C-alpha cells in the first residue's frame, strides 16, 4: 500500500520517525511508541510498523530490547577512522564545481581519504536530506557549500548533531548568517564587487546597472562592494538600476530585468553582472538588440570562467581560484580532524579577489 504521494506506507512512517529523531523530538534513550500505538496513529498494520522500525534499527537509529520495547539510539560517536570525507555542493554541472572538487581531492587523496559526494541543487530541503544521510554513515568530516546561504538555515539541528558527534565541518564559498563562528573559506566578494564597479567608474561610467543574487552570500557581498564604489565616487545609488534575482529564476530574471530597463529608456552605460554566465547571455541579447559591447555599453562578469575567455568579446571579470578554494577547504578540515586550534591554524580563510581586465569595457568621454 502507498500514501497519497505514492510512497510505501512503511517508508513514510520510517521517514517521519527518523525526522523526529534527527530533530530531537525523540531523544536518545527515549522509548519509541509501541507497535500498537504507531499502528493506530498512522493507520497502518503492525507489519508495516515492524518494517519501518527494522530499517531504522539497521541504520542505527533505534534498538529493540526484548520485553521492553524499541528505544532511540541517537547517533553514537565513531571511535575509529573511516577515511571518508563527505562533500556537499550546490551544483555539479556549473563551471566552478569540477575544479573545486579537483582541489579538494588533490589534498584528501594524499592523506588516504575517499570522498562521498552529494549535491543539493541549491535547495535547503535537499541539503537537509544530504545531512540526514551523512549522519547515518561513518565519516571523518564534511566540506559543505551551503544552499541559499543568505536565507536562514532551517535545519540547524542537523549541524548541532554533527557538533555533538564531534564530526568537523567546513563551509566553502558561502556561510549561513548564524554560522559565522564556524570554520569557513570565503572569497572577499565585497572587495570583488568593489573592484569591478571602481574599474567601470575609473573608465568614466556613471550609470552602472547592477545584477545580483539575493539569496546567497556572494550576491549580497558583491552588491555591498558595488554600493561602496558608487558612494566613494559620489554617484547616487538608484534602486531602479539594480536587478535582484533568486535561485529559481536565475535563468530568466536577469535577462527579463535587463529588457525592461532597455524598453523603459532608463539611461545606462555599463552592466556589472553577478557572474560570467549572466554577462555572457546579456552580451548576446545586447548584440541582437543593436547595442554594441563595449562601444555602447561596457559589461563585467565574475568568476573568470571559460565563458569569459571564449565570449565574442572577452569579459572583464574577477578571478575565482576554484582549485585553491578546494585545497584550502580540505586543508582546514584536516586541521580540524587533527585537533589543531584556531590560534595554530595555518590555512588562509579569506581569499583576495583579482581583477582580470579584458575587452568588454571601454573608456567613456567625460
What the chain holds in terms of domains, given with CATH numbers, is: 9-72 (1.10.10.10), 84-187+323-350 (3.40.50.2300), 189-320 (3.40.50.2300)
Pairing of strands 84-89, 114-119: parallel
Residue with cell 524598453: 263
Residue 129 clears pLDDT 60, i.e. is over it: yes
What value does the mean pLDDT of the chain take? 92
In the chain, which ranges are E strands?
62-65, 69-72, 84-89, 114-119, 141-144, 169-172, 184-187, 208-213, 242-245, 270-272, 298-300, 317-318, 350-351, 355-356
Q: Name, in order, each residue with C-beta under 8 angstroms of 7's C-beta and a sequence gap of 6 or more.
A: none
What's the gap between Cα 200 and its chain centre?
A: 29
Q: Name, in order, each residue with C-beta under 8 angstroms of 354's C-beta and a sequence gap of 6 or more.
A: 318, 319
Q: Given phi > 0 = left and psi -120 to 50 = alpha, else beta, which region is 237? A: beta
Position 139 scores a pLDDT of: 94
pLDDT category, 29, cuts 50, 70, 90? confident
Low-confidence winner among 112-116, 123-127, 155-159, 338-342 (lowest mean pLDDT)? 155-159
Instruction: Report d(CA 127, CA 176) in Å as an integer.
Output: 13
Mean pLDDT of 15-24: 81
Do residues 47 and 56 touch, judged by C-beta distance below 8 A?
A: no
Cell of 15: 521517514
Amino acid at each position: 500500500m502507498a500514501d497519497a504521494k505514492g510512497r510505501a506506507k512503511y517508508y513514510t512512517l520510517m521517514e517521519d520517525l527518523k525526522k523526529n529523531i534527527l530533530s530531537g523530538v525523540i531523544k536518545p534513550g527515549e522509548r519509541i511508541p509501541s507497535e500498537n500505538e504507531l499502528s493506530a496513529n498512522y493507520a497502518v498494520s503492525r507489519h508495516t510498523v515492524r518494517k519501518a522500525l527494522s530499517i531504522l534499527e539497521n541504520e542505527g537509529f533505534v534498538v529493540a530490547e526484548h520485553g521492553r520495547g524499541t528505544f532511540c539510539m541517537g547517533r553514537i560517536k565513531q571511535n575509529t577512522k573511516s577515511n571518508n570525507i563527505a562533500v556537499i555542493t550546490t551544483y555539479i554541472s556549473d563551471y566552478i564545481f569540477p575544479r573545486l572538487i579537483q582541489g579538494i581531492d588533490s589534498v584528501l587523496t594524499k592523506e588516504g581519504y575517499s570522498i562521498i559526494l552529494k549535491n543539493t541543487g541549491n535547495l535547503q530541503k535537499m541539503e537537509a536530506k544530504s545531512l540526514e544521510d551523512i549522519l547515518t554513515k561513518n565519516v571523518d568530516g564534511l566540506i559543505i557549500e551551503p544552499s541559499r546561504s543568505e536565507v536562514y538555515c532551517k535545519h540547524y539541528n542537523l549541524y548541532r548533531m554533527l557538533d555533538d558527534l564531534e564530526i568537523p565541518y567546513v563551509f566553502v564559498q558561502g556561510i549561513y548568517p548564524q554560522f559565522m563562528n564556524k570554520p569557513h573559506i570565503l572569497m572577499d566578494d565585497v572587495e570583488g564587487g568593489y573592484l569591478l564597479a571602481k574599474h567601470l567608474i575609473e573608465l568614466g561610467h556613471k550609470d552602472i546597472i547592477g545584477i545580483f543574487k539575493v539569496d546567497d552570500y556572494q550576491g549580497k557581498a558583491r552588491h555591498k562592494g558595488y554600493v561602496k564604489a558608487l558612494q566613494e565616487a559620489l554617484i547616487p545609488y538608484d534602486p531602479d538600476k539594480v536587478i535582484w534575482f533568486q535561485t529559481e529564476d536565475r535563468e530568466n530574471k536577469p535577462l527579463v530585468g535587463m529588457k525592461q530597463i532597455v524598453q523603459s529608456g532608463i539611461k545606462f552605460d555599463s552592466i556589472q553582472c553577478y557572474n560570467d554566465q549572466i554577462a555572457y547571455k546579456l552580451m548576446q541579447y545586447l548584440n541582437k538588440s543593436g547595442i554594441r559591447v563595449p562601444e555602447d555599453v561596457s559589461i563585467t562578469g565574475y568568476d573568470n570562467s571559460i565563458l569569459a575567455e571564449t565570449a565574442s568579446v572577452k569579459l572583464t571579470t574577477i578571478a575565482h581560484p576554484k582549485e585553491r578554494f578546494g585545497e584550502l577547504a580540505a586543508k582546514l578540515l584536516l586541521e580540524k580532524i587533527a585537533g589543531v586550534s584556531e590560534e595554530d591554524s595555518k590555512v588562509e580563510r579569506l581569499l583576495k579577489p583579482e581583477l582580470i581586465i579584458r575587452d568588454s569595457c571601454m573608456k567613456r568621454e567625460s
